[in-house]
Amino acid sequence: MLVKMIPELGHFALIIAVLMAAVQAVMPLAGATTRRPLWMAYGHPMAVGQFLFIALAYVCLTTSYLLDDFSVTNVANNSNSLLPWYYKMSAVWGNHEGSVLLWSFMLAGWGYAASRFSCGLPRDMVARVQGVMGLVSLGFLLFILLTSNPFERLLPNVPHDGADLNPLLQDIGLIVHPPMLYMGYVGFSVVFAFAIAALLGGRLDAAWTRWARPWSNIAWAFLTVGIALGSWWAYYELGWGGWWFWDPVENASLLPWLTGTALIHSLAVTEKRGSFKSWTVLLAIFTFSLSLLGTFLVRSGVLTSVHAFANDPSRGLFILVLLAVTVTLSLLVFALRAPRVSHQVSFSWLSRDALLLINNIVLVIMTVTILLGTLYPLILDSLNLGKISVGPPYFNALFVPLTVVMCIFMGLGPMARWKSMEARELKRKLWLAGAAALVLGVLLPFIYTGEWNLWASLGIVTALWIVLPMGRDLIDKTRHARSRLAGLRKLSLAYWGMVLGHMGIAVTIVGVAVVSNYASERTVRMAPGTTVEVAGYQFTMTELTSRRGANFLADTAVLEVQNIDSARGFLMRPEKRFYLATGMPMTQVALRPGLFRDLYVAMGEDLNDGSWAMRIQYKPFVRWLWLGGLLMALGGVLAIVDKRYRRVKVTNKASAATPSQSEPQEATL
Amino acid sequence: MALIRIVTAAILLALTLSAAAGGIELREFDDPVLAQRYHDLTASMRCPLCENQAIGDSDSPISGDMRERVYQMLQDGRSDSEIVSHMVERFGDYILYNPRLEKRTYLLWGLPVGLGILGFVLLMLIIRTRRKSSAKALSAEERARLDALIQRRRSS
Amino acid sequence: MSRRLLLLLLPVSFLLVALFLYQRLQHDPAQRDSALMAREFPAFEATTLRDEQQTVDQSLLKGEVTLVNVWGEWCPACKQEMPQLLELADQGIRMVGVNYRDTREKGMSFLNQYGDPFEMNIFDPEGSLGFDLGVYGAPETFLVDAEGIIRYHHKGYISPQDVSERILPEVAKWR
């Protein structure tokens, strides 16, 4: 009996959660304004309760999937009794309704964490943070209940079996990618809440930046991993070997990442030097707003096809209203409460302040460019100026030079001092690294392939320009320690976080530069016995078989691959699958990953004479793309483990109001 | 990430989107330059039917036709711009991933450049105002002394 | 004070963005006009569906306002719009079909089963005329005026509503 009621239980839990969110949205904010501790005290229990009840709803939906309850529309549309249990669990977020529930679940989780770990902060600040989190959560829960209820029943005509999960989604990628991405999107809500709370309470001091920094770092790390995983998943799952297409949906995730990157740097300036306060708050608002805008663009059907929207116009409208209310209100609060004139902190051309300012300017230009490119076709269409497309050539043409400009200054950043420094000192620290980067960057492509390539060289010079000065800096910093190792240990985790983050960028740049310029591909006719050579590897088809999988038929080719130089061999098995339930053909790529090269084989068409068209690709350094992403994320996490963030207690207002000057010089990010 | 687009499309549109890698077909070129041009051309044109795929990546019949046409025209010795305008005449500017520079796209290409200039000017202005206050604070001689002090402290 | 006003531009400008996005919600991103609008019907030379010997060319479309419908036996929406096309033919509109990427056999049986509103069907098994017309999925319908200029393009299924609200007014306009 109880089992049959699980969907209703979940639905009921959602309704309770919505009520709690409403209380959380109103009471703490009202309490903070009227200085009533009792009202403010509602915040934490509501955050806890909301989290628990959404968790319950989430568990209920997952249970319905696991128990194959096809009377639930959502389960019937997206699952199947034959689906393995782990795909049933991930199928929950492989569709619109379930993914919004996951989103809300994470939002409540972040809300709970923000509430739990803020106990050392001033009470009114905590209350305001809780209130803002409550408001955002309320919006999303209402969105679920009013337009996207995952617990809707298909009664009385319950189907015998479900329509099955899209075969593309039956993959580890679906299990790991969306949760990471959502954690990133949603995580910026905490920073956003801190920003709004600081504006409302007039506490726009160095203290709030110190509270906000760990949250923005961790959200940024999640988003970085999410984007990297998405790129990796598309690379091996879609079968053409691309890893970034500048699709609106990809851009939607890149936008908050860019402003988020600007934010974590701007927070550093504000915390250390007390400058750019308003700007930092604005970035926090922008970052979360862009997360919401991305959600709107992806789910409203404005950019994809209208069929989605025609099915349910209320969804797009609801998110738009949510977006408009959140962003307009927060910008209004900003306009009214932003500090009148921030006290002028001085710095000169050669200073870390100036370099971080440049970083922010370039990142903002990148953000606007991508936003412009994504929305421009819509703008033209609305003005009746015709339909155009803006794709990879446009974005690459603008993004590459912007990245190079950014990296030039990025190499200087870690060396520079706050406030000002002598050009002489900077030159002394950098000339060797710069020269080495230039020489190596020009030479390496020669050594690698025997011919020179401008773009590959540019990428390598840029990457080395980021890495080598940091190496030099490490040597300088450990020079006076008892031993190098002891010196390295003495450096703060925040410093290491910065080093890793910047290394990550360099690694990704190397990956992009090499794979874009040295990848090779051949499409060939292959039958058993055929041998072809691609990029120093010999591919021999030894066998061509058919097999029957759990829910598909497959043609499988077996290729024996030999490295011509080392004569080491291995087997690769690309497949062409035909899924029985959906009638969808799928290319199952055979992949031989390696740190320095991937081999990538996809089966094309059956040429009906016993041979097949096969596409063989050689992708050097492609792993570095994602490896760089992981390094960046690791850097972000490392920076928050730094012990100074555990001293959250603010002893008195005076210490909070002045930027901390006593920090060790190297603890920067 | 491109996957998410197909995922969303599949979820939201209930369309049978075939995501099998498209365009894996045999094309014989005598000249590797032609092969490269074929690759670049099919990567820079958008499939008019699909969600958002280049004709080189797409499985749809029209993309197959368009690839075939590109191939034929390359074999006939046509130039890239001839091939592109041949396609645009039939399918419109929509299929160009690289929008042409014309009156309606001035803003698209110009705004980033303008922002770059604006950013540079802004940077100048900010640093100039910020520098004034610091210049007042210390004379060059004092600066040098301070630097020396700092240096000494760091070395110790 | 002026700084506050300047800052207030932020929420105001975002509201404008939101209004723009709201307006976009009413649009179908898949809907676009043919690139051949206001241009001459492309030159072609092809046989007709019913007669392998008979060849026709673009002069077929001159002299009278004509609806050119691109269809194929393999296309479900084409079957669904047949009653509407028959009705249009009944109203005295000249209809020409383009049998797109099909075989004669299948095309013919399609017409036998669903009715034949067309004065003539251009047989286009390779889809070359379709390609020149910029067709990327059937059904598509073009309105060609008496001078052989394409004046209106309907992408996809023609519903009974489309007949009265779009097709007939367009025909009346160019007659």
What range does the domain containing B141 cover? 103-155
Report the amino acid identity of residue B85.
Answer: S
* Interface contact flag, C32 B88, Cβ < 8 Å: no
Residues of chain A with pLDDT under 70: 1, 304-312, 340-344, 643-669
Q: Which residues contact A569 (CB under 8 A, 6 or more apart)?
A: A560, A561, A562, A563
Assess whether pLDDT exceeds 50 at residue B5: no
B88 and B122, same domain (yes or no): no
Q: pLDDT digit string (tens) for B18-55?
A: 344 566 788 888 888 999 999 999 999 999 988 788 89
Distance separating alpha carbons of residues A123 and A37, to the nearest angstrom: 8
- Which segments of chain C have a pLDDT < 50? none
Q: What is the pLDDT of residue B1?
A: 43
Q: Which residues pair with A545 in a beta bridge?
A: A556
- Within an 8 Å CB–CB cutoff, is residue B81 touching chain A? no
Residues ≥6 apart with Cβ < 8 Å to C75:
C138, C139
Chain B residue with Cα closest to C33: B92
Supply the pLDDT for residue A557: 94
Separation in Å, CA of A228 to nearest CA in chain B: 9
What is the number of other CB atoms lying within 10 angstroms of the CB of residue A37?
Answer: 11
The pLDDT mean for chain B works out to 79
CB A6 within 8 A of CB A66: no
Measured between beta carbons, which residues in chain A are less than 8 angstroms from residue C15?
A: 324, 328
CATH number at B40 reads: 1.10.8.640
Q: Contact at 8 Å (CB) between A228 and A630? A: yes
Residues of chain C contacting residue A313, judged by C-beta atoms under 8 Å apart: 25
Query: Would the pLDDT of B156 be above 60?
Result: no
Residues B11 and B35 in one domain: yes
**Structural fold of domain C33-174:** Glutaredoxin (3.40.30)
pLDDT value at residue A343? 60
- Same domain, residue pair B81 and B122: no
Total residues belonging to chain B: 156
In chain C, what are the domain boundaries? 33-174
DSSP B45: B
Kindly list the residues from chain C whose CB atom is less than 8 angstroms away from the CB atom of residue B69. 131
Res B143: pLDDT:
67
Residues B50 and B66 in one domain: yes
* Interface A-C: count of C-beta contacts within 8 A: 73
- Each domain of chain A, given as residue ranges in start order, spans 1-170, 205-414, 520-623
Q: Which residues of A312-333 are buried (b: 16+ CB within 10 A; e: fewer)?
A: ebebbebbbebbbebbbebbbb
Task: Calculate the alpha carbon distances from A583 to A166, A167, A379, A475, A546 in Å.
Answer: 11, 10, 38, 61, 17
Q: ipTM score here?
A: 0.88
More confident residue, A420 or B10: A420
Domain-ending residue, one of B95, B115, B131: B95
| pLDDT exceeds cutoff 70 at B153 | no
- CA–CA distance, B90 with B92 (Å, rounded to integer): 6
Mean local confidence (pLDDT), B8-24: 44
Position A662 scores a pLDDT of 37
Question: Does residue C136 sit at the B interface (CB-CB below 8 Å)?
Answer: yes
d(CA A567, CA A548): 33
Does one domain contain both B69 and B107?
A: no
Task: With CB atoms and an 8 Å threshold, state whether B48 touches C36.
Answer: no
Q: Does C29 touch chain B (CB under 8 A)?
A: no
- C50: tokens are 């019913």
Are the beta carbons of B97 and A393 separated by less than 8 Å?
A: yes
pTM > 0.80: yes or no: yes
Q: Judge whether B47 and B59 are in contact, CB under 8 Å.
A: no
Same-domain check for residues B87 and B117: no
pLDDT at residue A272, rounded to an integer: 85
Which two three-digit tokens encode residue A401? 């030079």
